Structure 1
Amino acid sequence: MNKGFVYVRSGLSRDEVKELLDKLATEESYYFVRSPHAVSGICMNLPQEFPGFEGQMFNADRELRWKKQGSAYQALLLSRVEADLEGFEPIGENWEWCDRTAYFHPLDEPKFPKTFVYKGRKNENIVSNNISIGQRYFQEKRTATVHFVALTVRS
């Protein structure tokens, strides 16, 4: 197991969420935005639906989740590297993480979500089998309880 870091921040504006994404995103980041009526799919560029009701950005080091609460947003950062971000408070200090494989259904299989999309850097459709995405489990060390499962980009 590896040492992990979990942080939270409340009261963010739309622009502050966008600034966080600009700061934390890498060339190999993916985005997923949810609204009550639709999802963006997994995209390599920030979707037009941003910020939606909630969403996430993930790369090899971290996943940033945001969710609307009233007129502001709350953010959760799940990271394998320590972060020094203004306004973020650590949740506990005994986190460990481990990576696992994630599996995607091919688009031609009749399973939910059949019309789910995967978009590349130029907004082109990409095949889900070509995406190197995995899952990262964040476990509290003392109790061995998994509290969060984050998406991650696998190398």
Structure 2
Amino acid sequence: MSPFVGVCQDLLTGTELIELVQQQATAPSYYFLRWSHQVSGIVEKLPDDFPSSEGQMFNCDRELRWKRQNDRYSVLVLSNTGEVTGFKSIIKDRDDLRESEKESYWKTEQRPAYGYPTNETRFPRSLIYPKSLDVRNNQPSQKNQPKLAQRYFIAQPTATVHFVALTVEMPNSDSCQPVLTGLSF
């Protein structure tokens, strides 16, 4: 599959956002939610007061990002598994690209991501991480845990990183392993 970056064609209501997030979540999925007065940290379940003003859901296939605009939400998807139904590519309307260039516009690179130790003093409170996610912060690692990672979405024509998405590396699985796509050596 080829990488895909798209926006939801319509602004969504809170109920529609909840349905979209639940539809796109595959196990394991994690969430980082932001309100004007707090952040959730990385959590495994959506809280009762969801939707948040801003946030993201990520798993090994994709990251969804949303942001409130008045009483609705705009949504961006960063997918490593091709197009996502209901989303419009952010490059489809570029007239300066041939159709074949639009299909192979993005490449991705996946790298480890590191969480801050819980005793980090640069934050007023400790950041929260679920026990089921290895955030590689110098704590003993569990062999069969998903690991926090980041995926760079790079425009091939310019070699510019446009997005950095949170993702998950799955242990001992053929799916969702770190991959480099669209690269030629």
Determine the structure 1 residue equivalent to 2:163: 148
Unpaired segments ≥5 residues, structure 2 = 92-101, 171-185
Stretches (4+) displaced over 3 A: 126-131
Q: Alignment length, in residue pairs?
A: 149
Determine the structure 2 residue equivalent to 1:98: 109
RMSD, aligned CA: 2.0
* Superposition deviation, residue 49 in structure 1: 4.1
Unpaired segments ≥5 residues, structure 1 = none
* Superposition deviation, residue 31 in structure 1: 0.5
Query: SS of the residue aligned with 1:16?
Result: helix
The answer on 1:6 being equivalent to 2:5 is yes
What is the TM-score with the length of structure 2 in the denominator?
0.73
Which one of the candidate residues 118, 130, 138 is aligned to 1:107? 118
Q: Distance in 2 between matches of 1:59 and 1:70?
A: 28
Identity rate of aligned residues, in percent? 45
- For the pair shown, the structure with the greater C-alpha radius of gyration is 2
Q: Distance in 1 between matches of 2:5 and 2:124?
A: 30
Q: Distance in 1 between matches of 2:155 and 2:44?
A: 31
Q: Distance in 2 between matches of 1:33 and 1:142?
A: 33
Q: Distance in 1 between matches of 2:85 and 2:28?
A: 21
Q: Distance in 2 between matches of 1:14 and 1:30?
A: 19
Q: Distance in 2 between matches of 1:113 and 1:22?
A: 31
Query: SS of the residue aligned with 1:109?
Result: coil
Checking the alignment, whether the CA contact within 8 Å between 1:8 and 1:77 is kept in structure 2 is yes
Higher RCO by CA contacts (8 Å cutoff, separation 6 or greater): 1
